[in-house]
Chain A
Amino acid sequence: MTVLQAVALALPALGAPALVLTRDPLKMVLVSGVYGWTLLLLFVVLGAPDVALSMLVVSSVAYPLILLVAIARVRGRK
């Protein structure tokens, strides 16, 4: 295992607890996007650019949009 691979493995390992420990839903959306990018880096380093491309769009556009709209809707009802 190279240093780059070790770093790429360590980043999601740090990102996952950070995501779990985030309490505010809005911050959680941001942290989850950044966590997605750490996974994306891992996929690229391990030679899976096809998966990384899907991950890029899903984790930084599609999933946050759905979460943000859901949060806005729930807060609007209160």
Chain B
Amino acid sequence: MTRRARIALFLPALAGFAALLFWGLAGIPDFGHYRGPYGHVLDRIVTPERHVTNVVTGVVFDVRGLDTLGEEFILFAAVAGVVLLLRGGREHPANTGDTVASDTVHVVGTLMVGAAVLVGLWLVAFGFVTPGGGFQGGVAVGAGALLLYLASGFRAWRRFGDERVLDPLEGLGAGGYAVVGLAALVSGMPFLANLFAPGTTGTLESGGSSVLVNWAAALEISAATLVLYTEFLQEYVVPLGAGRAGS
């Protein structure tokens, strides 16, 4: 396609898109003026009914838990797609040629792995009290563990980034979420209805059975990100080692 033809196609599309965008923007509420009833209802019911002080997590894992189940399976399917494309057919050279040269980075970085993972677990556990929750904590646990690769190299990482451990954990997280939902059905309640007493407001014992859903999501997200990192890091490290072995 010539440059002129591209521009001739682009300009009407741009004009149409801009018109739609500005039409839409002209109709939105003023800054800070929320119109919908949904948020006001949630503000009023989540803390009194579920004893959860972080309304966002209460919405994500309790009031709209079904949406989050869908989101979780989107991630599950996406990671399964990555695994289907990237896993297998790779040889593992003994020398990956991917070592950490600085002792300081090695020692300090490795010591920080535990602290970083702990921050992630803390975000998961206190998700119903302060900002955080299964998603945020899950990605933080994954990133904290990734620090091990940055500080100690691929061989140290590989022991933890092992698909024989991570795949079952990811499945357990994704399936566990659905099982908590099904447990409500078995008890004669709607799918994912909260099963337990809401507990004491502002403590770890708040949120009822959505706490289980939260931890299942955290397990799924952290294992999914670790699987993703492992597959991608192998894409990077294996050719590196193969090149070295050949030279």
Contact = CB atoms under 8 A, between A and B. Distances in A.
The number of chain B residues touching the other chain, given as a range, is 20 to 34
B228 A69 contact: no
Q: Which of A1, A50, A66, A69 has the most CB of B within 10 A?
A: A50
B56 A50 contact: yes
Given A50-B57, A50-B131, A62 B143 contact: yes
Interface string A40-78: 000000001110111001100110011011101100100
A36 to B, nearest CB: 13
B196 interface: no
Contacts of B139: 54, 57-58, 62
Interface string B192-214: 00000000000000000000000
Contacts of A57: 136, 139-140, 142-143
Q: What DSSP secondary structure best describes chain A's contact surface?
A: helix
B217 to A, nearest CB: 12
A76 B240 CA distance: 9
B132 interface: yes
Nearest to B225: A62
Contact of A73 (B131, B239, B243): B239
A50 B133 CA distance: 8
Q: What DSSP secondary structure best describes chain B's contact surface?
A: helix
Contacts of A53: 123, 131-132, 136, 140
A25 to B, nearest CB: 15
A64 B175 CA distance: 29
Contacts of A54: 135-136, 139
Given A1-B31, A1-B32, A50-B57, A69 B135 contact: no
B132 A65 contact: no
Nearest to B57: A50
A13 B143 CA distance: 28
Interface of A: 1, 48-50, 52-54, 57-58, 61-62, 65-66, 68-70, 72-73, 76
Given A69-B233, A70-B232, 17 more contacts: A1-B32, A50-B131, A52-B131, A53-B131, A54-B135, A54-B136, A54-B139, A57-B136, A61-B146, A62-B139, A62-B143, A65-B146, A65-B232, A69-B232, A73-B236, A73-B239, A76-B243
Interface of B: 31-32, 54, 56-57, 123, 131-133, 135-136, 139-140, 142-143, 146, 225, 228-229, 232-233, 235-236, 239, 243
26 contacts: A1-B31, A1-B32, A48-B56, A50-B54, A50-B56, A50-B57, A53-B131, A53-B132, A53-B140, A54-B136, A57-B136, A57-B140, A57-B142, A57-B143, A58-B139, A62-B143, A62-B225, A65-B229, A65-B233, A66-B228, A66-B232, A69-B236, A70-B232, A73-B235, A73-B236, A76-B239
Name the 5 nearest CB pairs between A and B, nearest first: A49-B131, A53-B136, A61-B143, A57-B139, A69-B232
